[in-house]
Amino acid sequence: MTVLALAVDRNDACWLRSRFRAFGGDAVVAATTLAAQDALAGAGIPFRIFEAEAWDVDKQALSDAARRMAATWHLADALRGHPDMLTAATHRDIPLYPVLFHTVFLGMFEAMQAHVFMRRVLDTVRPRRVVMAEWGDPFASGLYGVLASEEGLEREALAGLCASRGIAVERVPFVPEDAAIEEDGVCPVRGVLPVLARKVATVRADPASVWRRFKRAFAGADRGRMTWESDGPPAGSPSVLVRTWAGHYLDQVLPVVTLLAGRGAAVTVAVEGGIPSRWQVRRLHRVGARLVRCASGLQVRAALRLHWERLGRAALRAVEEASAELFADGNGESFAGPAMAVMRHALVRGLPDAAADIECGRELLDRVRPDVELSHFAVAASGVGGVLPARVAGVPTLTIGHGLHVYTEAERDVFATRVCATAGTVHREAAMHALGCAAELLPTVGDCRLDMLAPSDGRARAVRRLGLSPAHPVCVACVTGPWTQAREARHADARTLRGVLALRREVPGVQLVYRMHHGADAAPFRGAVESLGDAGVIFQSAPNPPLPEVLRAADVVIAHQGSAIAEAVLCGVRVIYLCALAPEEPSSLDCPVIVPVRRLEDLPGAVRGMLATPMSRREVRERAQPWLERVLCGADGGAARRMADLVLALAARGDEPGFEDWLDRQRASAAFSSASWQKTFGTDAKT
């Protein structure tokens, strides 16, 4: 009798070590993550990766289906007139279910991927019994805790599929990684040491993280209320409210704030996530802007949150009753399990967050009385609720587009503001095509942060700062990591890691910096790199150190992320655009200093070719200028000025109350087919 054992983390190796022999020769261990593969290999347990099944998941088609579900789930006949759904539908005349669009889309996108992948694993193995570890709420650490992990919702998907097929499932009680395994004579201390070693490595790689965690832990004095740096509003006109997060988000709007204040505007900056740095606070004070530190929706208005949590649970019961109608179409009844996990998070946690965000937006509106509102996160779920009170009041609203993925992501960027400032003409073209937006709602301004980048000297010093040798070339690989909503094929990260690390063998003398996108679960990848003991290979997790500092040391960059590609080109470094395991982004294919590589086997040759034909940094920037004109308005240093001009023009023009245009964009996103990118722009989507 074939037994399928699912391993998704290091803890699974603990119970498999004692149970594997009991399974007999028919056992198949599916290790779907790098962490599980590393732990099982160390324990001597054979496993299968199922790469073909993972890469065969059609992410573009599932993205289309997930957007349709996110826009229409609450309109199903079984829910439309349900009293519990109606009770939870609005807060202060603002519809809440559309506010959850981004949350439901990303959650369903992952649930569909996990469901299709696990279904194909079952079809391949055809087990009579499945064994996997017991687990709790996958969303305990929030939506992004699921999306940033390698396994996502694979346990939930496998459990639902087994239930629908009548396959017996055994759930093994949780065994901590550092537990002693008496059968193998493993000392408890020996199990603890690797855990401590990884913690120490994390702190050594980013010492500032200790201080950030300390500040978050002791920021309780500000929780539950807004902290205003001064009682009265700053003098000037018009009144401008800027809503953003701390860190790089605040960095991007600081030049705009400086220009607005210099032109006489009264600027209030509301930081709704994170803690501003000292120099950010000093700069705001220096230009005369008022700073407001807002507690996040998870921390404020406990009574309001409890009320909406009760309403959300009642609405969840209605959704559960209608789950067969809502989720089975095109997915099968086995999809209800992971789908309901997503809806539970959206309704029980997302609805209270949305209501709290709306209250936060109303309070800011009442205190600041802005003539215009600039938001830096109106696409994300946490930013939509806060911007809608301004839309209801008829205050002109503007957001800044985030990221530089163009044609392969425009259908996701359903902004809630009236206007979205885009980085370049290609972004405007893509949004017009995918969301049906008029050109006047998508002005092109560039990117304030990237505008500051330019080719620089001092390579030797930058290389030594990384701990590498200036005598040998440096290749920087910027990868997305295990973000499940990224465009790369599912579970392609391990193959990408192996392909990049192979450059040490295939390209004599090359030194590597393997840099992972921020937020992703980087621990398994850091461990894989550092376990090599190779001084010529460095692992980094963004955003520290900042990428431009690393690029000063680079001779060539490997990337698939739009922002990393643009930053490299702006710094005068040629780019190998790695699209071997992802759909091609058309806007990255028409630049002479960006070379696409469509097979991992061709990566060493591409690196050798670039290193054999060196080009000065200024020449790289000059040759890329026509591309930069389309993507970043030329990166001419005028992005902040154009943004400030746009803010003041909107303040003078005013706006009509309402947000029907935002709902229209959601409907357009739901109706959009990703396959039309291939037809319109000639891209070949391979995943």
Contact 635, 570 (CB under 8 A): yes
Order of all β-strands in the sheet with 3-7 = 27-31, 3-7, 129-133, 168-172
The pair of structure tokens assigned to 238 is: 């018009």
Longest dimension (CA), the chain: 78
SS3 28: strand
pLDDT in tens, 118-176: 999 999 999 999 999 998 899 998 898 899 999 999 999 999 999 999 999 999 987 66
The pair of structure tokens assigned to 225 is: 């209320």
The pair of structure tokens assigned to 264 is: 């006489």
Query: Cα separation of 500 and 532, whole Å?
Result: 13
- What distances in angstroms separate CA 353 from CA 305, 362, 381, one per listed residue? 7, 14, 9
CA 674 to chain centre: 19
DSSP letter assigned to residue 234: P
Q: Single out the residue of 489, 479, 482 nearest to residue 51, CA to CA.
A: 489
Q: What share of the chain is helix, strand, coil (3-state, %, to 5)?
A: 55, 15, 35
Summary mean pLDDT of the chain: 88
Order of all β-strands in the sheet with 575-578 = 537-541, 511-516, 474-479, 556-559, 575-578, 594-597
pTM, 2 dp: 0.90
Q: Single out the residue of 604, 610, 666 nearest to residue 416, CA to CA.
A: 666
Crossing angle of helices 59-72 and 660-671, in 10° steps, is: 140
pLDDT in tens, 415-474: 999 999 999 999 999 999 999 999 999 999 999 989 999 998 889 999 999 999 999 999
Q: Single out the residue of 298, 126, 264, 311 nearest to residue 644, CA to CA.
A: 264
Query: Cα separation of 104 and 357, whole Å?
Result: 17
pLDDT in tens, 227-274: 766 556 677 899 999 999 888 889 889 999 999 999 999 999 999 888
The pair of structure tokens assigned to 215 is: 């500040």
**Phi and psi torsions of 28, nearest 5°:** -125, 125
Query: Cα separation of 162 and 151, whole Å?
Result: 18
Query: Cα separation of 671 and 411, whole Å?
Result: 10
Beta-carbon contacts of 665 under 8 Å, excluding residues fewer than 6 positions away, are: 414, 415, 435, 436, 437
Q: Single out the residue of 667, 680, 95, 106 nearest to residue 437, CA to CA.
A: 667
Quick one: 3 exposed, middle or buried, by C-beta within 10 A (0-12, 13-18, 19+)? Answer: buried
pLDDT in tens, 14-65: 899 888 888 877 899 999 999 999 999 999 999 999 999 999 999 999 999 9
Between these two residues, 77 and 410, which has the higher pLDDT value? Answer: 77
Q: Work out whether the CA dihedral 6, 8, 13, 14 comes out positive or negative.
A: negative
Query: Cα separation of 612 and 668, whole Å?
Result: 48
Map out the domains of the chain with their CATH numbers: 3-177+305-336 (no CATH), 226-294+370-446+638-681 (3.40.50.2300), 451-634 (3.40.50.2000)
Residue 631: pLDDT above 90? yes
Share of residues in the chain with pLDDT > 70 (%): 87
The residue-averaged pLDDT of 628-645 equals: 96
In this predicted structure, what is the pLDDT of residue 37?
94
Length reported for the chain: 687
Q: What are residue 90's DSSP bridge partners? A: 95
In this predicted structure, what is the pLDDT of residue 200?
61
DSSP string, 383-413: HHHHHHHHHHHT--EEEE--SS--TTTGGG-
If residue 90 lies in a helix (H) or strand (E), which one and from where to where?
Answer: strand 90-91
The pair of structure tokens assigned to 388 is: 């809608």
Query: Cα separation of 399 and 345, whole Å?
Result: 26
Quick one: 207 exposed, middle or buried, by C-beta within 10 A (0-12, 13-18, 19+)? Answer: exposed
DSSP H helices, 30-176, are 34-43, 51-55, 59-72, 77-80, 83-87, 101-125, 143-147, 154-165
Residue 177: pLDDT above 60? no
Phi-psi region of 267 (alpha: psi -120 to 50; beta: other; left: phi over 0): beta
Residue 204: pLDDT above 80? no
In this predicted structure, what is the pLDDT of residue 447?
92
SS3 173: coil
**Phi and psi torsions of 87, nearest 5°:** -65, -35
Query: Cα separation of 95 and 428, whole Å?
Result: 28
DSSP H helices, 126-219, are 143-147, 154-165, 188-205, 208-217
| Confidence class for position 663, pLDDT limits 50, 70, 90 | very high
CB atoms within 10 A of CB 664: 14
CB atoms within 10 A of CB 515: 25
DSSP H helices, 263-327, are 278-287, 302-321, 323-327
If residue 512 lies in a helix (H) or strand (E), which one and from where to where?
Answer: strand 511-516
Beta-carbon contacts of 14 under 8 Å, excluding residues fewer than 6 positions away, are: 175, 176, 177, 179, 181
- What distances in angstroms separate CA 228 from CA 276, 296, 373, one per listed residue? 13, 15, 18
Share of residues in the chain with pLDDT > 90 (%): 68
Contact 490, 452 (CB under 8 A): no
SS (H, E, C) 472-494: CCEEEEEECCCCCCCCCCCCCHH
The pair of structure tokens assigned to 610 is: 């670039």
Beta-carbon contacts of 489 under 8 Å, excluding residues fewer than 6 positions away, are: 54, 55, 57, 59, 581, 582, 687
The residue-averaged pLDDT of 552-573 equals: 94
Query: Cα separation of 570 and 575, whole Å?
Result: 11
pLDDT in tens, 72-115: 999 999 999 999 999 999 999 999 999 999 999 999 999 999 99
Q: Work out whether the CA dihedral 405, 409, 414, 420 comes out positive or negative.
A: positive
Between these two residues, 583 and 158, which has the higher pLDDT value? Answer: 158
The pair of structure tokens assigned to 611 is: 């290193």
Residue 681: pLDDT above 60? no
